[in-house]
A = this chain, B = another copy of it.
Amino acid sequence: MAMLRAELTRRGLDGFVIPRADAHLGEYVAADCERLAWLTGFTGSAGMAVVLGTRAAIFVDGRYTLQVRDQVEGGLFEFCHLTEQPAGDWIAEHMSAGQALGIDPWLHSERQVETLRAAVEKAGASLAFQDDNPLDTVWADRPPAPSSPVVAHPLEYAGLAAADKRAQVAGELAKRGAGAAVLTQPDSLAWLLNVRGGDVPTSPLPLSFAVIHADASVRWFLAPAKATAAIRAHIGNEVTIHDPGELGPVLDELGLAWKTVLADPGTAASWIFQRLRAAGATILERSDPCQLPKACKNSVELAGARAAHARDGQSLVRFLAWLDREAEARARAGNPIDELEAAEKLLGLRGENALFQGPSFDTISGAGPNGAIVHYRVEEASNRPLGLGELYLVDSGGQYLDGTTDVTRTLAIGEPDAEARDRFTRVLKGHIALARVRFPQGTAGNQLDALARYSLWQAGLDYDHGTGHGVGSYLNVHEGPQRIAKAPSHAALEPGMIVSNEPGYYKTGAYGIRIENLVAVVESPAKSAGEKDMLAFETLTLAPIDLRLIDPALLVPDELEWLNAYHARVRAAHRAALDAETAAWLDEATRPL
């Protein structure tokens, strides 16, 4: 901290902003860009610190208000709530006229820069954009940038050749009058070029940038170490690999040629916009042109998703059978299963699956009150036994070459009480309402969100997270634009999109409940004359829902029918491949109610 302040002084800066971000502004940050964690100790997935001459503050959202106090020294940083005590207000209050606040334009979107600019201007101060990050200068043991080799993502999983994808995106550019687009999102690039990598944990992303031109050619700014001969052969002649340092000069060239260049103000760094503007390019602010076609999985990707979910579900069945066999008995014997053991058991079973590449995110394995912490990550310090009469929540997923999975089950260890069954059944009613819904073309996820909450709302309950996030195809477990949440959205749900269906209920200090399946948006043709074609969700996840936690009296016939039909699908998908004991368990766990 003292070294950082000295470096700031050397640069004539009165302060500096450290967001939890890399140059791709996404959720997945490699170790060399975990600057916020290095400086403050805070390891949450979102946050920001501001360091001034004599004071500093760290801003985190509601998920992390407890964690930040555990991890960050209160003597060095004030703790602020990201939305209730915005950084802009704090900056406006604590900076003075004539001062300069340094920012790294690679780590902020245009909108964030505007917010910071407004804040410093209130104080009469100004922003100072830094060509290199002052924190890196003092970060002695900074890890190297990741350099995992890029690998081809074969057509048998991608379903569409990269050349066809490039032509499709180029067609979009032409339609919008753009000569080129800057691509900054690693998953967009991975999709576009049919490649995968290993630069960040749990998502097969190669970190890189690219420019796609209206003639469908791509200039790909990729660290040379990541580009094997095989990958150079895979990408073909129309994709050329360049040193990442050449991105700037290429943007200059687009500007000099008076091109109209598409860039996404939601995801591209301010640096990109500044460079394009300085070069004289006309900027077309639009969402990343790969985002929507990537979100709408083709039939090969959907078939892959079904196959991946079948394998993944079978691991889950084995896990649940093991848990059911062991958890109660071992708890009674004083040798309970704990959260870490359960998570490892599940990961081990997944590891036996064909095409498995690793977990798609850090497993949430929460017993009793730990289940109520929505973003809980089990560690030695927090590890709890699965106690008798408690609920156990496990949210996990796998990366498979043919698809990405994400599933949550909540299990009763021993006999659950009436309140738990009531809450679980209400969550299930919400899950079923969404699983069964048919809806017109053009419907956005936010229009469906309340269907998943209705039964909880009726009892004065709710959950403080979205109902569904988009999921990639052997890519990010969180992707846009599809989403099911309270916040208004203009992104319609379109055929091929994969999204989670995960209502929940959390009682702080007591238990957490969540039931999560992934679903794909599919066409649902009119069933008889006079009706309209609709869209619907096909549930992909195939694993039993704990019957002990269901109060059948709360279910209406349509809901019971859905549950029994779902369990019949689960049984049919897995039974033949199981040993006799597990098959018998599955029969019981999926018996009709």
Q: What 1/0 mask marks residues of chain A from 462 to 495 whose CB sits below 8 Å from any chain B CB? A: 1000000000000000000000001011100000
Which of A24-32, A153-161, A340-348, A443-451 lies at the interface with chain B? Answer: A443-451
Q: Which of B438, B443, B458, B489 contacts A458 (CB 8 A)?
A: B438
Chain A, residues 527-550, CB within 8 Å of chain B (1/0): the string is 110111110000000000000000
Among B437, B438, B458, B507, point to the contact of A460 (Cβ < 8 A).
Answer: B438
Contact A460 B531 (CB under 8 A): yes
Is A436 part of the contact surface with B, judged by Cβ < 8 Å?
A: yes
- Whether A461 lies near B532 (C-beta < 8 A) is yes
* Interface residue A381 (Cβ < 8 Å from any Cβ of B): no
Q: How large is the interface on A (under 10, 10 to 19, 20 to 34, 35 or more residues)?
A: 35 or more
The answer to the question of A305 belonging to the interface, with a C-beta cut-off of 8 Å to chain B, is: no
Nearest residue (CB) in B for A510 is B530
How many whole Å from A555's CB to the nearest CB in chain B? 10
Enumerate chain B residues within 8 angstroms of A457, measured Cβ to Cβ.
437-440, 534
**A459 and chain B: residue at smallest CB distance:** B531
Compute how far the CA of A530 lies from the CA of B534 in the bound complex, rounded to whole angstroms. 39
Does A433 belong to the interface (CB within 8 Å)?
Answer: yes
A527: which of B446, B450, B460, B531 is its contact (CB, 8 Å)? B460
Residue A229 is within 8 A (CB to CB) of chain B in the complex? no
Contacts of A448 in B (CB 8 A): 450
Name the contact of A489 in the complex, choosing from B488, B489, B530 (C-beta under 8 A).
B488
8 Å CB interface, A8-49 against B = none
- A77 part of interface (Cβ distance < 8 Å): no
Report Cα–Cα, A545/B504, bound state, in Å: 36
With a CB–CB cut-off of 8 A, which chain B residues contact A451?
450-451, 454
User: Does chain B have a CB within 8 A of A526?
Assistant: yes
Distance (whole angstroms) from the CB of A509 to the closest CB of chain B: 11
Q: Does A225 sit at the interface, judged by CB under 8 A? A: no
Query: A556 interface residue, CB < 8 Å from B?
Result: yes
Cβ contact within 8 Å between A437 and B454? yes
- A534 near B460: Cβ-Cβ < 8 Å: yes
Binary B-proximity of A500-539 (CB < 8 A = 1, otherwise 0): 0000000100000000000000001011101111100000
Bound form: Cα–Cα A590–B21 in Å: 63
Chain B residues with CB under 8 Å of A534's CB are: 457, 460
Contact A439 B446, CB 8 Å, known A457-B534, A530-B507, A532-B462: no
Residues of A whose CB lies within 8 Å of any CB of B are 433, 436-440, 443-444, 446-451, 454, 457-462, 486, 488-490, 507, 524, 526-528, 530-534, 556-557
The 9 closest A-B pairs by CB, nearest first: A460-B531, A488-B488, A556-B556, A460-B526, A438-B457, A447-B450, A460-B532, A439-B457, A460-B534
A-B contacts, 19 of them at CB < 8 A, read: A437-B457, A437-B458, A439-B457, A440-B457, A443-B450, A444-B488, A451-B451, A451-B454, A459-B527, A459-B531, A460-B526, A460-B527, A460-B528, A460-B532, A460-B534, A461-B531, A461-B532, A488-B488, A556-B557
